Chains A and B, each alone.
Chain A
Amino acid sequence: GAVVSQHPSRVICKSGTSVKIECRSLDFQATTMFWYRQFPKQSLMLMATSNEGSKATYEQGVEKDKFLINHASLTLSTLTVTSAHPEDSSFYICSAKALGLAKASYNEQFFGPGTRLTVL
């Protein structure tokens, strides 16, 4: 239980194109999902908190018009990197908080496997 998937796992695109990354909770409902970015040898950087049915809350310094987040259902959140540039190349990871999941401890987040984005 508590499985989170991401698609695609790896994407290579040309500079200027947009890339959409999907994050799904497979066996539980997630009222809240989080999007992180991680550069090589660095820690996780929270980009935004996504709540089902409402606008995402972005962390300071993260451009909301560049990183579009949609959380249309309790099992799906998407991150769209618009007009991607080489500096956006990174490892993007989503996580989800479970709604009423008995095994989950307080505030536990379940992570997806990540999406490696390379912008040429």
Chain B
Amino acid sequence: QKEVEQNSGPLSVPEGAIASLNCTYSDRGSQSFFWYRQYSGKSPELIMFIYSNGDKEDGRFTAQLNKASQYVSLLIRDSQPSDSATYLCAFPDVQGAQKLVFGQGTRLTINP
């Protein structure tokens, strides 16, 4: 059973600070990872994907992957109130297979 663990939160961060979201996974064979953002009442949208160890940066977002420790994180710099949402990490169930395994999501609130 492939699993993804996330702290459900809520995580409160002051505006302008760095928000750090973490995710651990059980399958050592996992190669690619996704971070989705979901606003209340809306469907998920892709924020980042990463498949190599290390960091990947895109604007204010940085994804970090550590395959040896089996965790992936998402850093949001200069947090804005509009970043308040639930963040879901996900990875493919089996390498090459179709479906994604989602974590339960971390609810992030950015306080003005």
Contact = CB atoms under 8 A, between A and B. Distances in A.
A114 B42 contact: yes
Contact of B43 (A49, A105, A112): A112
The majority secondary structure among interface residues of chain B is: loop
Nearest 6 A-B pairs (CB), nearest first?
A43-B104, A114-B43, A111-B43, A105-B49, A107-B92, A93-B43
Given A93-B44, A105-B32, A105-B49, 9 more contacts: A43-B88, A43-B103, A46-B102, A105-B34, A106-B32, A107-B100, A111-B36, A114-B42, A114-B43
Interface of B: 31-32, 34, 36, 41-46, 49, 51, 88, 92, 98-100, 102-105
A106 B100 contact: no
A49 B99 contact: yes
Contacts of A97: 98
A43 B51 CA distance: 23
Given A49-B98, A97-B98, A107 B32 contact: yes
Contact residues on A (Cβ < 8 Å of other chain), bracket: 20 to 34
B102 A107 contact: no
A108 interface: yes
Nearest to A112: B43
8 contacts: A34-B99, A43-B103, A44-B88, A46-B99, A49-B98, A107-B32, A110-B46, A113-B43
Interface centre among B44, B46, B49, B51 (most CB of A within 10 A): B44
A113 B45 CA distance: 9
A49 B102 CA distance: 15
Given A43-B88, A107-B92, A113 B42 contact: yes
A77 interface: no
A111 B92 CA distance: 16
